[in-house]
Amino acid sequence: MNLRHLAVTACLASLLSVPALAADHWVGTWATSPVALPNPEAKYGAAETTYREIVHISLGGDTARIILTNEFGLAPLTINSAYVAPRTQGSEIDVANARPVTFSGRPSVTLPAGALAVSDPIALKLSPLSDVAVSFVVPAQPIEQATHHGFADQTSYTAPGSVAGAKSLETPTEITDWPFLKGIDVRADDKAGAIVAFGDSITDGARSTRNTNQRWPDILAQRLQAEKKTRRLGVLNEGIGGNRVLHDNTGPSALARFDRDVLAQAGVKYLLILESINDIGHAQDPVKPYDVVSAEDLIAGLSQLAARAHTHGIKVYGATLTPYVGAKYSSPAGEAMRQAVNQWIRTSKELDGFVDFDKATQDPANPSAFSAAADGGDHLHPSDAGYKAMGNSIDLKLFTK
């Protein structure tokens, strides 16, 4: 073989070693779980309003798309003049890198009741672990029921009129939910994928410090990006405060929302489930128990989630339930249920592995309670330090299998 052939062979080998961007391989970099919000006072739709919603993405990319939602709406919803841009500070965006968003080539989209809308691809470089502003205009229209995620743990903004492309919003109103916005995907190589963190308020980040991205899925995303073997993975936080496995409460039950919040997400390879402490707390509430279920019922529900994910080739990891002794709805009977569910999570062959959040946050001297550092103050939700301990306890090798 001559030198020219050697050079050509080396060049081809080099090209083959670089993962190719597949035109249709999208991976979620940020997502949230929508719920219904009745709108009797016409907070939404009474007048033309610009929404500038701030999100913290996990995976970076050069091409993005956004997902808007009217999944709980009772009538069609029109949205105009959407933009995506890196957020600089407050309501201010990097206008030099702001991009208009279109839907089938149009700057406006009407979402039927119960539907969502995926935008056209947007040529925009987004850095990993960065703040992104999604701005759009909701014109005046009747909205009987809005679709939103109620606990954002992040300050976003609204302003009157159509000013979605403005560098900053003049005298904006601060909001702490995410109305009508469901997710952001990035185009990625075929080795990239997403991890869905599926759970309740402890996944949603209750009692963590607002605007600092200290939820345990945020900590996981930071760690993934710091390692070469895992930096092609995005993390999607699909937690809802008050959520339960078997009954509707704040939002549909885990079983009811699973297809929408897990299976329908882009590029999902892994699922990490932290659910059922609310089922236990309400079933064994020492004051007024309701929606009574057993540990066996919860295990059956979690098994259903695992089976449905496995059908789609998704690896499933269980997360042990964190301590809750001292919480308002804690009881000895509930603690016995928690221990039974955790034992199943640690030993079940129906899961592909587990993460021991219980061990990461418990008081070594009193394992049924949070450690002083991990307790967020109500004996149910972790502190920032508790969330960090949870995120740091996850073995990243789970996501290289």
CATH of residue 382's domain is 3.40.50.1110
Confidence at residue 301, expressed as pLDDT on a 0 to 100 scale? 98
Residues 150 and 225 in one domain: no
Is the domain of 270 the same as that of 317?
yes
Same domain for 327 and 366, yes or no, is: yes
**pLDDT at res. 4:** 41
pLDDT digits (tens, 9 = 90+) for 201-230: 999 999 999 999 999 999 999 999 999 999
Does 380 map to a domain? yes
| Domain end among 162, 182, 202 | 182
- pLDDT tens string 102-141: 999 999 999 999 999 999 999 999 999 999 999 999 999 9
Give the pLDDT band (50/70/90) at residue 22. low
Determine, yes or no, domain membership for 144.
yes
pLDDT of 364 above 70: yes
d(CA 298, CA 280): 9
389 pLDDT more than 60? yes
**Mean predicted lDDT score pLDDT of the chain:** 94
Report pLDDT for 18: 38
Query: To which residue do tokens 């009157």 refer?
Result: 160
Residues 312-356: tens digit of each pLDDT: 999 999 999 999 999 999 999 999 999 999 999 999 999 999 999
Does residue 8 belong to any structural domain of this protein?
Answer: no
- Nearest CA to 97 out of 147, 55, 67, 131 is that of 131
Half-sphere exposure of 297 (CA within 13 A, CB side): 15
Report in angstroms the alpha-carbon separations of 130 from 86, 100, 212.
8, 19, 12
Domain of residue 302: give its range. Answer: 191-399
One domain, residues 121 and 269: no
Give the residue carrying structure tokens 């073989």: 1
Tens digits of residue pLDDT in 242-284: 999 999 988 999 999 999 999 999 999 999 999 999 999 999 9
Instruction: Tell me: do 74 and 173 sit in the same domain.
Output: yes
Q: Among residues 159, 182, 205, which one ends one of the domains?
A: 182
Residues 216 and 322 placed together within one structural domain of the fold:
yes
**Same domain, residue pair 176 and 284:** no
Of 182, 210, 245, the position where a domain reaches its end is 182
Instruction: Please report the pLDDT score of residue 1 as a whole number.
Output: 43
Helix/strand/coil for 114:
coil
Judge if 197 and 173 occupy the same domain.
no
Q: Do residues 206 and 137 share a domain?
A: no
Number of domains in the chain: 2
In a domain, 76, yes or no: yes
